[in-house]
Amino acid sequence: MSDPKIEASKPAKPSKRFRILLGVSLALNLLVVGAVVGAIAKGGSSNRGPSGMRDAALPYVGAFERDDKRAMQQQMRARLPKRKDIRAALDKGYREFVEVVRAEPFDAAKAAKIMEEQFERAGQFQKVGREVSIERISEMSVEKRAAYADRLEYRLDNPRKHGKRKER
């Protein structure tokens, strides 16, 4: 039999449930830190556009008919770098950023440059999206443009309902 004094001195192994909760807590903390860093980074330069750029684009995109959205997505894919190339560039930037953060002394200018390059890539995606959207609207007949304007106006007037409304 084991000695109760020895057993009492060993720290108890955390339960599986506790370890899962700890992992979830860590993940949530990292999400919050990421959101804060993202918010700070977005607010640093006036040429990046207002915060919530995605929110600004949603009504415009959402008002397009499903077929238009699919065609626009194909046009964007043709104009933008391949997804794997974008992901590789992002990953490279993140790794470089980690190295800069760990370096002593910390080089704030280099860190800012890495972030700026990543946000410029995102800005390119947004720019192409705006171009494709305007091209698509320019190609519409007067009737289709009026229907698009009606859908957009509906989304603006009913912001909570736009996700539940069926596409025309």
Share of the chain above pLDDT 70, in %: 64
- State the chain's mean pLDDT as an integer: 76
Q: Which tokens sit at 84?
A: 């794997």
Q: Please state the pTM of the whole predicted model.
A: 0.54
Q: Where are the domains of the chain?
A: 14-43, 49-157
Contacts of 119 (CB under 8 A, 6+ apart): 41, 42, 45, 48
Q: For 107-125, how does the pLDDT look when each residue is reduced to its tens digit (9 = 90+)?
A: 999 999 999 998 888 888 8
Q: For 40-66, how does the pLDDT look when each residue is reduced to its tens digit (9 = 90+)?
A: 444 444 444 444 666 777 888 888 899
Is residue 23 predicted with pLDDT exceeding 70? no
Q: For 65-99, how does the pLDDT look when each residue is reduced to its tens digit (9 = 90+)?
A: 999 989 998 998 898 888 888 889 889 999 999 99
Length of the chain: 168
Helices (H), the chain: 4-9, 16-42, 53-62, 66-79, 83-102, 108-139, 142-157
End-to-end CA distance of the chain: give it in Å, rounded.
75
Q: Which tokens sit at 33?
A: 């830190």
Contacts of 30 (CB under 8 A, 6+ apart): none
pLDDT confidence of 135, banded at 50, 70, 90?
very high
How many Cβ atoms from other residues are within 10 Å of residue 64's Cβ? 20
